[in-house]
């Protein structure tokens, strides 16, 4: 994250610090100030100690209920910080994958919206992926419903979503088993496959796209929840996803429904 007027920067889950510093230099960042850690798992917090050695005075933020390596500043839901002159960061507690998971909502100046095409983005790792959500390692379906459908689902629809892993194709394949007639899922799956084949990322998504294609954010709809309450539907979806075998299961599903 770069504040263009001051060239101050922040990084999210810098698990490979040297590569992060090289990328920061390539973007002209002359003052890397903040680490925003989403949760305590090693593939997200594992580079914190090293980057503190490489950049003296680096502040490392992380959830107060997570045991974040290298953390200098513990944050709670609703805490705010700033970067440079124009960027504000809001901490959102989005528990389930871990008890203290934090998503970071970043906003910039309106002038930058016209030039940089962003004014709000959400940085998160495990509460949600593109068209999916993380496993319930330390939490419950009630918590992930609150995190996904209430906390994140209430953000403005154009909010750009940056998740921590590249699972879009697999997640969209699973989403098709839930809603085989959903045209938006079909379209995004085709696009994601093309991105993958070209060696390009499928990230970011938007809140609006997720509400159209992510079954875990669509559990309030009758076609998803059936006779269940939304939280129960979400719990069952996660169980189905945990057992899902991928393309072969999708093929069998399609054969059974021809």
Give the pLDDT score at 128. 56
Q: Rounded CA gap, 133 and 73, in Å?
A: 27
CATH 3.20.20.60 assigned to domain 1-126? The reply is: no
Q: Rounded CA gap, 162 and 171, in Å?
A: 15
* CATH code matching the domain that covers 166-258, chosen among 3.60.15.10, 3.40.50.1370, 3.20.20.80, 3.40.50.2000: 3.60.15.10
pLDDT tens for each residue of 96-136: 889 999 999 999 864 443 333 334 566 544 445 899 988 88
Residue 253: strand, helix, or coil: helix
Say whether pLDDT at 182 is over 90: yes
Give the pLDDT score at 179. 96
Give the pLDDT score at 59. 97
Q: Rounded CA gap, 131 and 120, in Å?
A: 20
Residue 154: strand, helix, or coil: coil
Give the model's confidence band at 254: pLDDT under 50 very low, under 70 low, under 90 confident, else very high: very low
Ordered by start, the domain boundaries in the chain are 1-126, 166-258
Report pTM: 0.86
Give 204-236 as a DSSP string.
Answer: -EEHHHHHHH-GGG-TTSHHHHTTS-HHHHHHH
Beta-strand (E) ranges in the chain?
A: 2-3, 8-12, 31-36, 59-63, 73-75, 80-83, 87-93, 102-107, 120-123, 160-162, 205-206
Q: Is the peptide bond before 211 cis (omega within 30 degrees of 0)?
A: no
Give the pLDDT score at 246. 61
- Two domains, one topology: 1-126 and 166-258: yes
């Amino acid at each position: 994250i770069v504040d263009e007027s001051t060239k101050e920067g922040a990084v999210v889950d810098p698990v490979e610090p040297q590569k992060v510093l090289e990328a920061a230099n390539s973007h002209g960042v002359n003052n890397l100030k903040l680490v925003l850690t989403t949760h305590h798992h090693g593939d997200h917090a594992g580079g914190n100690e090293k980057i503190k050695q490489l950049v003296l005075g680096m502040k490392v933020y992380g959830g107060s209920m997570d045991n974040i390596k290298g953390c200098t500043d513990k944050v709670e839901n609703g805490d705010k910080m700033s970067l440079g002159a124009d960027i504000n960061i809001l901490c959102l507690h989005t528990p389930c994958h871990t008890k203290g998971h934090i998503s970071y909502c970043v906003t910039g100046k309106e002038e930058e919206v016209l030039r940089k095409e962003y004014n709000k983005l959400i940085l998160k790792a495990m509460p949600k992926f593109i068209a999916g959500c993380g496993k319930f390692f330390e939490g419950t379906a009630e918590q992930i419903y609150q995190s996904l459908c209430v906390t994140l689902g209430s953000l403005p629809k154009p909010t750009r979503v940056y998740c921590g892993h590249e699972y879009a194709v697999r997640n969209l394949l699973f989403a098709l088993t839930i809603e085989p007639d959903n045209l938006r899922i079909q379209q995004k799956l085709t696009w994601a496959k093309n991105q993958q084949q070209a060696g390009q990322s499928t990230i970011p998504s938007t809140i609006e796209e997720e509400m159209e294609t992510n079954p875990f954010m669509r559990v309030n709809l009758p076609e998803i929840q059936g006779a269940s309450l939304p939280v129960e539907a979400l719990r069952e979806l996660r169980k189905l996803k945990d057992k899902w075998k991928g393309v072969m299961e999708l093929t069998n599903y399609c054969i059974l429904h021809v």
